[in-house]
Amino acid sequence: MRENNKHSVAVIGGGVAGMSAACALAEAGFSVQLIERRGYLGGRASSYLHPGVNEVIDNCQHVLFGCCTNLIGFYRRIGVAEKIHWTSDMSMIEPGGRRSRLGPFKVGPMRLPAPLHGAPSLLHAKAFSLADKVAVGRAFGAMMRIGSLDYSTESLGDWLRRHKQTPGAMSRFWRLVIASALNADIERIAVHYAAKVIRELFLNSAQAGAMGMSIVPLSELYAGVEKFLTQRGSSIHYNTNVESLDWDEEVMQWSVATRAGVLTSSYVVLALPFEAMGRLIPNLPPADGAATLAKQIAQHQHWPICSVHLWFDREITDLYHALLLDRDIHWLYNKGKLHPWRRLNGSYLELVVSASYDFAALTREQAIEHSVRELAEFFPEVKTAKLEKSVLIKEVRATFGVPPGIDAARPSEIATWPNMFLAGDWIDTGWPSTMESAARSGHLAAEALGLEADLPLLCLESDLKPKGFMRLVPDPNPWY
């Protein structure tokens, strides 16, 4: 164990970014105090006991992919990597119930080499016409050439029109699969973020595109964080809102003021969402660069995600999850199947609606009635099933948008104040607003802090290497 008092760190914010930074730093021997405003960890990716239905629910289903190497590394560090259910199949269902499957094509253990591994299922997908498939295939080819650092000012919508995408490809693939993954309207997405999603989820390898879902409520995933930290001489302060910070140049120390008192530390990692960071800037010591950071933050915009949780008295579908086409609800997750420990007599489904301000404006009754009506178009069993209970969760500030030009508004992990580092999904990770971006930002901040403290540590996980023919396609952005 390294000397603690000299290397104490206050990590502010107990979301995925703060937890990843705190655990990596504690493992490297720093004495960490993780400070969280709420009474539990997880931030925007958490679960809680909903008093209305007496069930533990996630604030929304969170999915990850094989390419999320830092998030998986964080799960491994805290010993919960086994609690992720992985699947390579993505079912698309049309109103009326016709199903198509996207995902890697296998003959026994054999797969076609990347990027062709997903081509047979796309070609067989009944949800797309031949013209749609040709259009999507052409766009994939063009997107392979777009690097993550190609800061084009063109929106995804304009790019797709320029690449002559058919109405079917636009509505069933680009609007649903890609815009919902980036949680924004296609007119408000920078092309290189869409290209990154396409490359990672559909082209680089089957492993990169495999989808993971937790088999326990999200907050249970983080139950190991407290033990991990305390075993390494670190601690968590719950229900502790940080109000201001002061730097003492003489003793090279931060004072972190909370309602419960003042904590001190040599280093600080601010792992906050962009609005909370913006609110804190006036309560930090004056510094060059503070105004620039405030201006960057002002350019960010949040997008909503709504989830509708439904408990029926019987099984509605055998699928674990599905994409629902042509309606307002986008994703279905069969939580009863994902969480067999719930021992339900019927079923528990979660429906997710991405990036819709219209849906977010509905009342609870309207949203549930509308969702059940739409669900019945895909699964006739819904018409005869009894809806036993339901919950609507509106997360108005779910994710930040990635419009053209946003990269200039994503600061690096090194803050303008001394011995201070930034984390959070919105900082410059090259990733959209995801748990992977948050975990990556935490690891970037931990590494930068280690360098500053003269105790270098390596916790940033390598990206998955492209497989098959994709090894021959130059990586447009090798350092991320």
Ligand X SMILES: Cc1cc2nc3c(=O)[nH]c(=O)nc-3n(C[C@H](O)[C@H](O)[C@H](O)COP(=O)(O)OP(=O)(O)OC[C@H]3O[C@@H](n4cnc5c(N)ncnc54)[C@H](O)[C@@H]3O)c2cc1C
* Only segment of 22-30, 35-43, 90-98, 379-387 that touches ligand X (CB under 6 A): 35-43
Least gap, CB of 133 to ligand X (angstroms)? 27
Q: Decide: is 351 part of the binding site for ligand X (CB under 6 A).
A: no
Residue number with CB closer to ligand X (282 or 380): 282
Least gap, CB of 35 to ligand X (angstroms)? 5
Residue number with CB closer to ligand X (424 or 468): 424
Amino acid identity at 6: K
Helix (H, G, I), strand (E, B) or coil at 112: coil
Helix (H, G, I), strand (E, B) or coil at 271: strand
Least gap, CB of 446 to ligand X (angstroms)? 13
Least gap, CB of 123 to ligand X (angstroms)? 28
Q: Decide: is 435 part of the binding site for ligand X (CB under 6 A).
A: yes
Q: Decide: is 308 part of the binding site for ligand X (CB under 6 A).
A: no
Taking CB under 6 A as the criterion, the residue among 38, 83, 342, 389 binding ligand X is 38
Alpha helices by DSSP H, 216-263: 218-221, 223-230
Question: Count of H helices and E strands in the chain?
Answer: 18, 22
Helix (H, G, I), strand (E, B) or coil at 453: coil
Q: Decide: is 444 part of the binding site for ligand X (CB under 6 A).
A: no
Q: Decide: is 24 part of the binding site for ligand X (CB under 6 A).
A: no
CA nearest 32: which of 190, 309, 232, 217?
A: 232
Residue number with CB closer to ligand X (271 or 324): 271
Q: Report DSSP state, residue 437.
A: H
Q: Decide: is 276 part of the binding site for ligand X (CB under 6 A).
A: yes
Residue number with CB closer to ligand X (25 or 35): 35
207: Cα within 13 Å, side-chain hemisphere: 9
Number of residues counted as binding ligand X (CB under 6 A): 36
Q: Decide: is 272 part of the binding site for ligand X (CB under 6 A).
A: yes
**Which residues lie closer than 8 Å to 196 by C-beta, 6 or more apart?**
148, 430, 431, 432
Taking CB under 6 A as the criterion, the residue among 212, 333, 434, 443 binding ligand X is 434
* 465, 471 contact by CB (below 8 A): yes
Taking CB under 6 A as the criterion, the residue among 103, 157, 424, 466 binding ligand X is 424
CA nearest 430: which of 444, 414, 446, 451?
A: 444
Q: Is the dihedral of CA 311, 314, 318, 322 positive or negative?
A: negative
* Only segment of 61-69, 249-257, 357-365, 470-478 that touches ligand X (CB under 6 A): 61-69
* 398, 435 contact by CB (below 8 A): no
Residue number with CB closer to ligand X (42 or 468): 42
Least gap, CB of 431 to ligand X (angstroms)? 9
* 270, 18 contact by CB (below 8 A): no
Q: Decide: is 392 part of the binding site for ligand X (CB under 6 A).
A: no
Q: Return d(Cα 257, Cα 267) in angstroms, integer.
A: 14
In the complex, the residues that contact ligand X under the rule CB under 6 A are 12-18, 35-38, 43-45, 59-60, 62-64, 241-242, 271-273, 276, 305, 395, 398-399, 424-425, 433-436, 438
